[in-house]
Amino acid sequence: MMDGTEKILDTFAASVRDPFNRLKEYKARVGKKAIGYFLTDFPEELIHAASMIPIAVLGNNENISLADAYFQNFACSLVRSTLESKLNHTLDILDGMVIPHICDTTQCLASIWKIAFPGGYFDELVFPKKRHTPSARTYLLNELSRFKKGLEEYAGVKITDESLWDSIRLYNNHRELLRKLYAFKRDHPQALHEREFFTIIRASMLMAKEEHSQLLSQMMTGLAERTTKPEKKVRLVVSGMVCEPLQVLDLIDELGGAIVNDDLCTGSRYFLEDIELNHNPLEAIVDRQLKKNPFPGYHIVSDEAGDSLLDMVEKTDAHGVIFLHLKFCEVHNFDYPDLKKRLEERKIPHLLLETELQMTSLEQLRTRLQAFIEILGRR
Ligand code: SF4
């Protein structure tokens, strides 16, 4: 029989397996509209404060065929899979969609979406590329004000400062819980499998924050009971957009690795920084956005990305770094030579793996991961 922790983990896994059927039930229960968003750095709080349900559209591992009519097959599988889900009606339960521009491919996706799927709510967000200038802050504030106004018109709801602060507080509390869970996992890597941990994070992007926070708090009490068998693990930092397919996480576990830090959009990038509660709520959202780690290739920065990667390694005493790139992702490949150089200057071992959401055979990855983890384990 499953105990409380197992049951909650099972609920999280079910929401990751079938997010849109769960959404259908939830929408019927609460009578609200749902707005999907593409990764990353999306200000969900604004949708929540407009009394709607924000939900991440994370792609899936099913074959892609319909999207081939719109995208070359050398576009990344995350974007192609998202479009496939729209074309095969998986996303029909959504009332609208928002696509932030984070690379040329997402910019293309937004253009296709606007033309191919007219009607319904749609918006795109354009973040500043240079973040450390006064004009970047002014620009982003205007962009988010425009976005907020559009949401208000669509939802027929005024987003007041009070409602936005309420949503911000809910999201801050939730982010804090996820950070606590990560800290616990670092200290007790044997207590949670990698797939379990990253499933909890993914579920947090797919379930109502109220429900996810409640289940997560409950689960963390039970997790202490799983800490009895300490094992030596190779401590790894994972860098990339998403960890796909999820079997990569099983491999890391099986081969004796433990992820102690990451900059994934379906990982730390989602919950690392809070929104400060000290001035106007929209400005506070802007300030959080501007202090986040640079997104590869998108933000024009000098050494910031390398600094933040080294910081992640040093803070968590990691043995090495795995770059987990989605095939055909130009932006991560663009930053890779500089990041590699920074790691090599500090003699930090690293490994680059390329994956796709639809990847079925992981044998080659297994061999490379096994060799990497074994070498690190002997140091
Ligand atoms: S994986 Fe790369 S190409 Fe694909 S959406 Fe992310 S940043 Fe863009």
Q: How confident is the model at residue 1 (pLDDT cuts 50, 70, 90)?
A: very low
| DSSP three-state, residue 350 | strand
Atom of ligand 1 nearest to the CA of 104: 8
Using CA positions, which residue lies closest to atom 6 of ligand 1?
241
Share of the chain above pLDDT 90, in %: 84
Task: Please state which of the four CATH numbers 2.40.40.20, 3.30.470.20, 3.40.50.11890, 3.40.50.300 is assigned to the domain occupying 32-159.
Answer: 3.40.50.11890
Task: Give ipTM to 2 decimals.
Answer: 0.99
- Between the CA of 30 and the centroid of ligand 1 the distance, in Å, is 33
Whose structure tokens read 């780690």?
A: 293
Average pLDDT over residues 79-83: 97
From ligand 1's centre to the CA of 242, what distance in Å?
Answer: 9
Instruction: Tell how many helices (H) and how many strands (E) occur in the chain.
Output: 14, 8
Band (pLDDT 50/70/90 cuts) for residue 298 is low
With CA atoms as reference, report the closest residue to 155 among 30, 47, 281, 56.
Answer: 47
Q: Pick from 87, 89, 108: which is nearest to 99 by CA?
A: 108
Closest protein CA for atom 8 of ligand 1: 103
* Tens digits of residue pLDDT in 243-284: 999 999 999 999 999 999 999 999 999 999 999 998 899 999
Residue 58's nearest CA partner among 213, 208, 243, 298 is 243
What ligand 1 atom has the least distance to the C-alpha of 240? 1
Pick the CATH number of 232-379 from 3.40.50.300, 3.50.4.10, 3.40.50.11900, 3.40.50.720: 3.40.50.11900
The rounded distance, in Å, linking the Cα atoms of 147 and 123 is 8
Ligand 1 centroid–CA 60 distance in Å is 15
CA of 329 to the centre of ligand 1 (A): 5
Assess contact for 100 and 37: CB atoms under 8 A: yes
Reading the block at residue 219, the tokens are 């689960």
- What proportion of the chain, given as a percentage, has pLDDT over 70? 97
d(C-alpha 17, C-alpha 143), whole Å: 34
Ligand 1 is surrounded, with C-beta below 6 A, by 76, 78-79, 102-103, 105-106, 241, 326, 329, 331-332
Closest CA to 78 of 110, 98, 106, 97: 106
Structural domain boundaries in the chain? 32-159, 232-379
Distance (angstroms) between ligand 1 centre and the Cα of 56 equals 15
Question: Nearest Cα to 240, choosing from 80, 354, 148, 139?
Answer: 354
Higher pLDDT, 304 or 112: 112
